[in-house]
Amino acid sequence: MKTQLKTLAALIVATSMSADASTLAIDARGDAMGGTGVVSASYLTAPFYNPALVAIYRRNDDAGMLLPSLGLNYNDEDKMLDKIDNAVNNPSASALNELNGTQAKVDFGGAVAFGLPNRYIAANIFGKAYVENVATPDIDQTGSNDADKAARSAVKTASVAVTEIGISLAKYQTLFGQHFSFGVSPKIQRTYTYASVSSLNDFNLNNIRENSQGDTAFNIDAGALWFHGPFRLGFSAKNMLSRNIETASGTKNIGGKDIQYGYEYQLTPLYTVGAGFVADYFQFSVDYDLNTEKKFTQFDDDVRMLRAGVEVDLARQIQLRGGYMKNMARDSEGTITAGIGLRPLNIIEMDIAASYTSPQAMGASINFIATY
């Protein structure tokens, strides 16, 4: 069981080849800076944070490519996988009680973008892929003894994968003597869902692709930015058209007990404000979600993030980054982030980021950028 996270990571890579994306950004630079980006993203990564930033670029920027950006995060702070091993090998009331209420998550994503900055209508064509996976035990309380309860207990898994393809359009304007930019991102989303139920003994994360179903819909993001010199304020609205996505549902017999499965995933608008100081060689920014994302209604996975990040640029060749983020919707630990950007001769840029919450909750991302 201790190898299951590695198995799931490999599985999600395979899953994302046919189904991808979400409300989350997938960008190693932003990940290193605590996940910030509403006022600090570049014109290439702007669609993933705030489309208004597509219109903010340097005078010598003619075009750019983000190809690709990849990220992986896992969270097993409850030590669910180890506790399943313990409950299977030593079925006791204490082992089952320790397992009850635990949860594990693994997320994987990728993104590409092609930016076309210009003073008329700046544009960015983008694609993003993200898979969110949640697993939680269903512990039986009716068995005649501990071994019977363990045999009648199960692990439920639910996954949602969303592929986005769209275009961000943005325009810089001066209003009442103030500098603004506004942007929109119309996009097509293809959503897949998966649901499975397994006994504790037969739990295998390869089953996560069972009971697949999908649909396609239109959605839109929007954003605005005010700036004066290095000072910036921004606002973004993602997935402005709400959707309730249902997985397949049914009943599976585990140890003589019928266990029902079926989940609902809420893809709802996310409103975020940002503020920052963005200069040539130093940046600091803070993003805060104004509302809570509910996500899977049957799981305790609500998200409302506070993020902060900093970047120091050394001669435009090396960028050192750090940050912090915390989910304000749950009583959870904060996450420390760090990363580096390498830009040899300003021809191509490679960004690497890592995040650390605990030994059971970490992540990493990488992306490559070329500008012309």
The pLDDT score that the predictor gives to residue 206 is: 66
Which tens digit of pLDDT belongs to each residue from 279-302? 999 999 999 999 999 888 777 778
Which tokens belong to 329?
A: 């919707």
Mean pLDDT of the chain: 89
Helix spans in the chain (H) = 4-16, 28-32, 80-89, 93-99, 146-151
The average pLDDT across 168-190 equals 96
Instruction: Indicate whether 275 pLDDT > 80.
Output: yes
The pLDDT score that the predictor gives to residue 24 is: 64
The pLDDT score that the predictor gives to residue 310 is: 98
Residue 241 C-beta-side C-alpha neighbours within 13 Å: 10
The pLDDT score that the predictor gives to residue 283 is: 98
The average pLDDT across 201-228 equals 86
Which tens digit of pLDDT belongs to each residue from 127-157? 999 998 888 999 999 888 999 999 999 999 8
The answer to whether 335 touches 315, Cβ cutoff 8 Å, is no
Per-residue pLDDT band for 12 (boundaries 50, 70, 90) equals very low
Instruction: Indicate whether 9 pLDDT > 70.
Output: no
The average pLDDT across 201-224 equals 84
Burial of 89: CB neighbours in 10 Å, binned 0-12, 13-18, 19+: exposed
Burial of 178: CB neighbours in 10 Å, binned 0-12, 13-18, 19+: exposed
The pLDDT score that the predictor gives to residue 287 is: 98
Which residue segments constitute the domains of the chain, with CATH numbers given? 4-371 (2.40.160.60)
Contacts (Cβ under 8 Å, ≥6 apart) of 149: 91, 93, 96, 139, 140, 141, 142, 143
The pLDDT score that the predictor gives to residue 330 is: 84
Counting residues of the chain whose pLDDT is more than 90, the rounded percentage is 65
